[in-house]
Amino acid sequence: MAKKTKEKKTSWKMMAWGLAVLATVFIISYYLFNSWGTIEYKNLVFSKEAYGDIIVYHHIYYFKDEGQVYKANIYLRNDPRTNKVPLEGDIAFYKDRPVYISINSSGLSQCEDISFAPQTLSSFLGSNLLTTKAGAPDIAFANVSNVPYVTCDTHPNNIVILMQEGRNTSIVKNNNCHVISISSCEMLPAVEKFIIETLANAKERKKSVGE
C-alpha cells in the first residue's frame, strides 16, 4: 500500500513537472512570437508578416476627412527601424493641390525598382486622398513623353517630389520641393523612408493640436 502511494506521488510530481515545462514553453513561445510579429517605430506599430520568402511590415491607420473615416494600409519591404536614409525637413501636403512626382530616370533606368518604387509612393498618396501627377525634370524627355516639365522651380505653389540619382541616398525638403536623391539604386528604401516620416510627422501634428 505504501509502495502504491509513493508511486502515485511520483506520478503526480512528474505530471506537475511536465505541465510546468509546457507552461514555460508556451510563455517563451508567446513572447518570441509577439516580438517577431510586431515592431514599433516613432509610435507607429507595424506587423511583421511573411508571404512565402517575402517579409513585409504592415501598418494600418485611420484618418478623417470631411466627417468620413478612412482606413489605409501600407506595406514596407524594409524594417523602418533600420532604414537609415537621412531626411531634412518636415513633410506636409496640401489637400487641395496635386502632388507632382517628377523622375529623372538618368542613372536610375537600370534599377530594379524604377517602376515599383514610384508606384508605391503614388499609391500611398492616393490612399490619403491626394491627387498625384507624373512629371519629368528634363524638358526634352517631358515633351517626348507627353508629361509636364516639373522641377523644384516650375511649380512653387505645389508639392513636388523630385527623384534623381545622387552621390548619397537622402531626402531633403526645400520649401514645397522634396528632393529624393538615390545612390546605388536605393529607390525603395528612400521612398519607404519618405512614407514613414510623412506618417510620423502627421501623427505628431495631430497629437500637438489635441485631436
The pLDDT-based confidence of 203 (bands split at 50, 70, 90) is: confident
pLDDT, residue 18, reads: 56
Instruction: Output the pTM of the full model.
Output: 0.79
Q: Is the pLDDT of residue 9 over 80?
A: no
Cα-based distances in Å from 6 to 17, 18, 127: 16, 18, 69
pLDDT, residue 35, reads: 45
Q: At what angle do helices 187-208 and 116-127 cross, to 10 degrees?
A: 20
Mean pLDDT, the chain, rounded, equals 85
Cα-based distances in Å from 22 to 30, 39, 41: 12, 27, 33
Residue where the block lists cell 508571404: 51
Whether domain 85-208 has CATH 1.10.3210:
no
Nearest to 161 by CA among 169, 149, 173: 173
Show me where the domains of the chain are located: 2-38, 85-208
